A and B are shown apart, each in its own frame.
Chain A
Amino acid sequence: MDFEPSDDRRVLADTLTRFLAAEYPIAHRNAVAYAAPYHDPDKWARLSDLGLLYALAPEAQGGMGGAGFDIATVFQPLGAALCPEPVLAALLSARLLVAAGHDLDPLLSGRTRYAAAIGEIDAPYDPAEITCAAQGGATGWTLHGRKSVVYGGGTADRLLVAARASEAVGLFEVASEAVEITAYGMIDGGGAAEVFLDATPAALLLPDAEATLHDALDHGALALCAEAVGAMDTAQALLLDHLRTRQQFGQPIGSFQALQHRMVDLTIEIEQARSITILAASRMGAEQQSRTVSMAKSHIGRTAKLVAEELIQLHGGIGMTWEHPAAHYAKRLVMIDHQLGDTDFHLQRVMAGYRGA
């Protein structure tokens, strides 16, 4: 048994961590994360030049990784630095394009930006409930309906859209110029978009894509878990520093046993979250992939919220302010539960595993 990362992954993590620390200090991160286009296009290009996106795809498709641990290696530093770049959109898209046998290089090199338009207002997490319609005709396919909260949708060149054609949910590609897009910033930073499809011409990539969509969403959920672990580590460090330095009643507040116990409980939860994320990363592509990812995402949903709430509470008033990094870590940690399935959605997927067992 060995819990040490491989040398390649360690180098990638270190490179990324150094880059993010230098390029996304919190003031810069906030400046770009909360104002259109809700990320930093120059730094996105430089991140791509680092080869970051290649780590998200398997070698057979021109990438340099793509395994669960590669994804975790990329997303944990992104979370630790609260990086607002649309890497999740790239990961989801890469998984979809791999399944479609598509050339990945435009995506992995950062030249073409893709976003995955899967969720809808009434089908927020489960592709089986998608109602967007695809119609085939003599001149090709057209798409009809609306996709909601498409991460990175406001800055994408191309959209990968899940839509229902007669019985099966298919995967389609459309050019961003061909659709009406309302882009907006999110409360925790970063950008998303509403996508309106109105007889939009589309290319069919996969006629029956449900399993592929589930697989992509599993990978996305794993990435969010790793991102949360990274953000929780930074949150814990911020909090420890505050408990050691903030003085009230003539002593550091960290000397109050009531707060020490809270901090210890948090630490235990964070380590549990890290462990379940490691387990999920190890099962990507293996049996139990979905159920284990759901265990991790359900755990993270609870734990990240707990860390966020304690982060604010134990900071006191200062933790409520925009000026303090704690507030932004807290927002990200809470809002991760709103992406690709919340704690109860994934709990239900874990529960479903008991059926027939």
Chain B
Amino acid sequence: MDLSYSPEDRAFQDEIRAFLAEALPARLSDKVRTGAELTKADMEAWHAILNAKGWLATTWPKEFGGPGWTPVQRHIFEEECCRAFAPRVVPFGLNMLGPVLMRFGTPAQQQAYLPRILSGADWWCQGYSEPGAGSDLASLRTRAIRDGDTYVVNGQKTWTTLGQHANRIFCLVRTSTEGKPQQGISFLLIDLAAPGIEMRPIRLIEGGHEVNEVFFTDVRVPITNRVGAENEGWTIAKFLLGHERTNIAGVGFAVQAFEQLRAFARRPRGNGRRLIDDLLFAARLSEIEIELEAMKITNLRLLVAAQQTGAPGPESSMLKIKGTQIRQALNDLARRALGPAAAPFPLEALEGNAALVPLDQAANAARYFNSRKLSIFGGSNEIQRNILAKAKLGL
């Protein structure tokens, strides 16, 4: 048993730190630290910086332009990026569609789309969920009907994260109503500029705009935009789920939130006292730290196992559940740490003389409410429990 990183891993860590110290613009890390909304240009700027270094598509093999890192190296990279308050890489093209195209795409599709994902020419969004098909994704009803060389698509997708910035969407659509619902699904690449597509914003609980609904009315999509065989989209969807689960534990984000909260709690207040000296608060924080320390090791144990077997098992559902619980608990405590001062609506941002709390804490309540999504999307925590009960415990 040896819990330390190898000398190679440590050298790798140093290299990442040095890069971040030099290349990450302070205006971006400041926004991440204070929970300010990143603009499309902010996200694109960070992608471009990473791409220039060859570190954008961390899950891609070398031949497609990735760095060819091991899972442990990817983990170190993600940890360091969080520590430095780097913006999050937008996952839809890089971590979702990219791997799908490499595995199931034609050479023509790979050549057409992969370089554009790296260069930022395309911004993809994920069109899986529908109003009637959430946890039960296979019941999706958006129809694609063959008409010569094209599909004609009608229906609605929803919860499309950052669709407002996207120019393309990858969709699961129904191409057959025969057999089991899973058997009639296909995977389509759709240009959002095509006639018949309308995108509408959905406002979230805390007031932010990060998801959308997308309506398709007689949208014509060339059949060459189908990935994989017709009616075999479910295989792709399942494959993609495995990739969605990389970094699912979100340990780096939890460490970031924990450090921010601890630093805040150690600051002397106007009356000279510190929140950390409140025994009940310290107990709550300690309980979370204990879970977090355990989570780091659980995560590494599963990472190393996946590195050996080549694929994450159903145990990744444990990471999803525990990882999101820890992050939500931290957001909860960070909100509570402010007392009445958590109340102002964040868009009202009390500034200067009127400010109630340091800028990096002002959005704590909003962050807490927004983070409730973590246990809903990417397969809800209830669905993860169903998976564990069946696939891991055999119940």
Partner of B135, one of A121, A248, A322: A248
A327 beta carbon closer than 8 Å to chain B: yes
B346, closest chain A residue (CB): A187
B272, closest chain A residue (CB): A122
B129 beta carbon closer than 8 Å to chain A: yes
Does the CB pair A121–B369 fall under 8 Å?
no
Give me 9 other A-B pairs in contact (C-beta within 8 A), A124-B340, A321-B205, A339-B340 excluded.
A148-B340, A187-B344, A187-B345, A248-B139, A258-B386, A259-B382, A319-B376, A330-B205, A334-B369
Query: Which of A121, A123, A250: most chain B Cβ within 10 A?
Result: A121
Does the CB pair B270–A186 fall under 8 Å?
no
B126 beta carbon closer than 8 Å to chain A: no
Docked complex Cα distance between A148 and B386 (Å): 47
**A interface footprint on B117-148 (CB within 8 Å = 1, 0 otherwise):** 00000000000010010111001000000000
A36, closest chain B residue (CB): B348
Does the CB pair B280–A347 fall under 8 Å?
yes
A316 beta carbon closer than 8 Å to chain B: yes
Query: Which residues does chain B contribute within 8 Å of A327, judged by CB atoms?
Result: 204-205, 369
Q: Name the interface size band of chain B.
A: 35 or more
Query: Which residues does chain A contribute within 8 Å of B159, judged by CB atoms?
Result: 317
Docked complex Cα distance between A327 and B208 (Å): 13
Partner of B204, one of A131, A258, A322: A322
Does the CB pair B341–A121 fall under 8 Å?
yes
Within 8 A of A (CB), among B356-374: 356, 365-366, 368-369, 372-373
B19 beta carbon closer than 8 Å to chain A: no
Question: A interface vs B, CB < 8 Å?
Answer: 34, 119, 121-125, 129, 131, 148-149, 182, 184-188, 192, 194, 196, 247-250, 256, 258-259, 305, 309, 312-313, 316-317, 319-323, 327, 330-331, 334-335, 337-339, 342, 344, 347-348
18 contacts between A and B (CB under 8 A): A124-B339, A131-B271, A184-B344, A184-B350, A185-B348, A186-B344, A187-B206, A187-B346, A248-B135, A258-B386, A313-B375, A313-B380, A316-B134, A316-B135, A317-B129, A320-B205, A323-B202, A331-B205
Query: Which residues does chain B contribute within 8 Å of A259, judged by CB atoms?
Result: 382
Partner of B202, one of A184, A321, A338: A321
Does the CB pair A192–B344 fall under 8 Å?
yes
Does the CB pair A322–B205 fall under 8 Å?
yes
Does the CB pair B136–A248 fall under 8 Å?
yes
Within 8 A of A (CB), among B199-228: 202-207, 211
Return B207 CB to nearest CB of chain A, in Å.
7
Query: Which of A317, A319, A330: most chain B Cβ within 10 A?
Result: A317
Does the CB pair A338–B134 fall under 8 Å?
no
B113 beta carbon closer than 8 Å to chain A: no
Docked complex Cα distance between A338 and B342 (Å): 7
B269 beta carbon closer than 8 Å to chain A: yes
Return A299 CB to nearest CB of chain B, in Å.
15
B281, closest chain A residue (CB): A344
Does the CB pair A316–B341 fall under 8 Å?
no
Query: Knowing A184-B345, A322-B207, A323-B202 touch, does A331 contact B369 (C-beta < 8 A)?
Result: yes
Return B242 CB to nearest CB of chain A, in Å.
22
Does the CB pair A338–B340 fall under 8 Å?
yes
B377 beta carbon closer than 8 Å to chain A: yes
B338, closest chain A residue (CB): A338
Query: Which residues does chain A contribute within 8 Å of B372, judged by CB atoms?
Result: 309, 312-313, 319-320, 330
B354 beta carbon closer than 8 Å to chain A: yes
Does the CB pair A330–B369 fall under 8 Å?
yes
